Amino acid sequence: METNFSKEQLKDKDNKSAEKILRKCVHCGFCNATCPTYQLLGDELDGPRGRIYLIKDMLENKKPANEKIVKHIDRCLSCYSCMTTCPSGVNYMHLIDHGRSHIEKTYKRPFSQRLIRDFLSTVLPNPTYFKIIGFLTLIIKPFQFFFPKTIREMISLMPIRFPKKKLPKMKVYSPTKRKKPVARVALLTGCVQTVISPQINEATIRLLNRHGIEVVVPKGVVCCGSLDHHLGKNDLAKKTFKKNISIWHEEYLKKGLDAIISNTSGCGTTLKDYGFIFRSDEDFKKKAKKISELTKDITEYLDENVKLIFINNKENKKNYKIAYHSACSMQHGQKIHNTPKDLIKKTGNEVFDIPDGHLCCGSAGTYNLLQNDIAKKLLKEKIINIEKLDPQFIATGNVGCITQISNGTKIPILHTVELIDWYTGGPKPEVLRKL
């Protein structure tokens, strides 16, 4: 694609990288074929190619965003299915991040939108606030019909129970059966995940400890920053990124880290992008690059570094039929698709890909809260496709997808790591208790 940035504009590192990305696009439109919003809405501007043109026009012509542009960019899920399909290697992820940041700087959203987005940016990354809002929501739930539609939808999406944590909160979880750990990793425990699904982190820690790996959870690292990043709130996101990078890097230098483990693929995708985000920051670029290099999805780490010891007992001998939901951030963002399935296969169970598995379930960070109508349609399609397989349960690697999918079906759904933990000596996951 021909671009027309001026020399002056290209002094800006983000414009420079946008230009590089735009030049790779050959307008072929293959990406539209696998874009969930294009498939659903049929509008060129709701597909990747159309959005690329919108962003190009804003950036090249120094145009402030307007209502129309914001509508189509906001509808993008950041699922990156288009990146998997694109034959020219267009990095849509970096382009849309730049586009969102430009919108945030040049467009004043209506008051109600600003309020909701600020609310999400304040509450979701903070487990204490999230818990408080969660309990308040339980109280107002019976009166939700008094609220405007968006708030109603948000209330209905809030979890109705907050499981108790079973593992004590510690900075270091050491393997009990070994004097010297075989490896030392940091775990990103996350923000919302720690409140709504603490069992995912607990299964991860147990599993790693059982295989001789020490797990550290450095104080101060909570949210990965992707929530603000995807809302276009770059200053806030960068503050979180810098804090995380500094804490992990210090731990790496002082005591050594073999990896930084993410068990939420959405967060893992952002951590792996820290290096790019800080590419021109003299103070942070080296540290950020190191953090990105150290980051591994839990399934990736297990596959590459751990000889898993599977233990059969009376409970887990059954031959289950499992549907594997490949989260977009996992398959398109991190290009990890077969690894989790191969790990699950090692448990002796049958694993099946969900038809049209490249399409998003509608979760996509805060998407199901901000674009509820589209998210619901995508969820409906996802459930139809899951039910075609008639599985006994669903496994996936992202807490957002777990929450979204469990809103549409009674088929149990759990994190891949809970399953692997169970088959290597951990407890039976609570969600499977009736199977």
Does 49 interact with ligand SF4 (rule: CB under 6 A)?
yes
Q: Which of 22, 45, 70, 76 binds ligand SF4 (CB under 6 A)?
A: 76
In order, the DSSP letters of 269-328 are HHHTTHHHHTTT-TTTHHHHHHHHHHEEEHHHHHHHH--------TGGGS--EEEEE--H
Q: Which of 5, 80, 252, 278 binds ligand SF4 (CB under 6 A)?
A: 80
Least distance to ligand SF4, CB of residue 151, Å? 25
- Stretch 103-132: interaction string toward ligand SF4, x if CB under 6 A: ------------------------------
By CB atoms closer than 10 A (0-12, 13-18, 19+), residue 345 is middle
Q: Which of 13, 28, 132, 250 binds ligand SF4 (CB under 6 A)?
A: 28
Does 259 interact with ligand SF4 (rule: CB under 6 A)?
no
Does 22 interact with ligand SF4 (rule: CB under 6 A)?
no
Question: In 138-160, which positions are buried (b, 16+ CB within 10 angstroms) versus exposed (e)?
Answer: eeeeeeeeeeeeeeebbbebbbe
CA distance 62 to 5: 10
Contact at 8 Å (CB) between 331 and 359?
A: no
Q: Is the dihedral of CA 109, 228, 82, 77 positive or negative?
A: negative
CA distance 186 to 220: 12
CA distance 158 to 385: 25
In order, the DSSP letters of 361-411 are -S-TTTHHHHSHHHHHHHHHHHHHHHHHH--SEEEES-HHHHHHHHTT-SS
Q: Which of 92, 130, 241, 324 binds ligand SF4 (CB under 6 A)?
A: 92
- Nearest residue (CB) to ligand SF4, 29 versus 159: 29
- Stretch 202-221: interaction string toward ligand SF4, x if CB under 6 A: --------------------
Does 26 interact with ligand SF4 (rule: CB under 6 A)?
yes
- Nearest residue (CB) to ligand SF4, 97 versus 303: 97
CA distance 237 to 232: 9
Number of residues counted as binding ligand SF4 (CB under 6 A)? 25
Q: Which of 18, 22, 25, 322 binds ligand SF4 (CB under 6 A)?
A: 25
Does 426 interact with ligand SF4 (rule: CB under 6 A)?
no
Does 99 interact with ligand SF4 (rule: CB under 6 A)?
no
Does 30 interact with ligand SF4 (rule: CB under 6 A)?
yes
CA geometry: angle at 189 spanning 427 and 415, to 5°?
45
Does 232 interact with ligand SF4 (rule: CB under 6 A)?
no
Does 31 interact with ligand SF4 (rule: CB under 6 A)?
yes
Residue span binding ligand SF4 (CB under 6 A) among the ranges 73-81, 115-123, 391-399, 402-410: 73-81
Residues that bind ligand SF4 (CB under 6 A): 25-31, 35-37, 48-49, 51, 76-82, 85-86, 88, 90, 92
